[in-house]
Amino acid sequence: MLCFLILHAYCSVKTSLFLNMQRLIITCVLILFFVSPCFCKRFFMASSNTYNVIDYGAKGDGETDDSQAFLSAWKKTCSTDGESTLVIPSKGVFLLKKNILLKGPCQAKNIQIQLEGKIIVASQDAWLGDKSSIIWISNVNGLTIDGSGGLIDGLGSSWWTCNCQRPSVLAFNSCNGLIVSSLSITNSPHAHITINGCEGATFSNINIKSPGDSPNTDGIDISSSKRILIKDSNIACGDDCIAIIGDSSDVNATGIACGPGHGISIGSLGKNNGHDKVEQVYVYDCSFTNTQNGARIKTLKNGPGYARNITYEKITLTQTYHPILIDQNYVGVESEGGVEVSGVTFRGFQGTSADDRAITLACSSKGCFDIVLDQVDIKSSKAGKPAACSCSNAHGTATSTVPKCVSLS
């Protein structure tokens, strides 16, 4: 009996202490919410600012068109105060039969898109949209896209034989402060990613994969943009792995594995007599494997503008056709050289050329100036055949360079 009374008293004390502690916690929380209503609002809304496309009608069965569900989920994501997240969940295959325009400006200050599942694009005969970009993101600042675990498949093989306009998969227009990571895109009908009018964007761990003979399937096209960084990415495609055109500056490509593809190119510039200006481009620690070109600058006839302050450095070549190429007669048209090319450095190239012409500097009659070749060692991949350098109207210096460019002055 005595033991029972002691145990009862002990339990009563513990219960009392627990209830008092519970009351104290509730009181503190209420005081905190009363003193700081903003905290209260954030507490209850933190978990509600995530919008899953499934909740807006997406089926994710690979057969139903989920375009409208994506648009509905985006509308809610964009119009939310504070921070918001759009989720394309895993274990789903989301079919797009029409273009989706994710348009800003948004009320949300920071938006994240989590691509965890797979997006597929309808084949050409089932496509109901227009021929512009399939996913077009416009005027959205502070956007972060995390593609971990996800994939966008453009199913481009149904388009590649078509003599028609073909859509790109993903376009960014006027998006500042953009961060895109771990994004995988395959088999685009046209270019995989286009960047236009953006400032301050970082793309990292991007994986692009299309066959080397797929027509005009550029990996990443950059136009009229500034402060763009592309790093630690693998790009295999049927055209330029990266192309930089228009009014673009301060572009950095680092740690890019390109191949197959047409290299990392400046241009083409001067198309339709456009005044193209590209400057402050730095391509560093990149590799070109079985590519049609390596480091390339290409300009068309008579277009005004310039390409200047461009550096390709620490480049690894494996059976690369035209490892170093300046072509001011692009598309075979001899040019009077409206686009000025100057201040171009090729430094630290090592590897093999699949063509006898390892270095080609084909400048217009007006000439290219301040061209630097330094620490370049390119050998022919063909046994017993020497690699060669061909220069025309190119002015600059060559140090520690093989093959020798005796006509560079």
Residues labelled as active-site residues: 262
Give which of 375, 352, 362, 347 is closest to 408, Cα–Cα. Answer: 362
**Strand blocks (E) in 321-409:** 324-327, 339-353, 357-362, 368-380, 388-392, 394-402
d(CA 174, CA 34): 41
**Phi, psi at 259, each rounded to 5°:** 150, 130
Per the document, the length of the chain is: 409
Is residue 73 a contact partner of residue 53, using CB atoms and an 8 Å limit?
A: yes
Angle between helices 37-45 and 2-35 (to 10 degrees): 110
d(CA 89, CA 135): 17
3-class DSSP state of 43: helix
**Phi, psi at 73, each rounded to 5°:** -65, -40
Supply 253's token pair. 């490509």
Supply 292's token pair. 């049609």
**Phi, psi at 226, each rounded to 5°:** -135, 150
d(CA 329, CA 350): 26
Largest CA distance in the chain: 113
d(CA 263, CA 291): 6
Supply 313's token pair. 């450095």
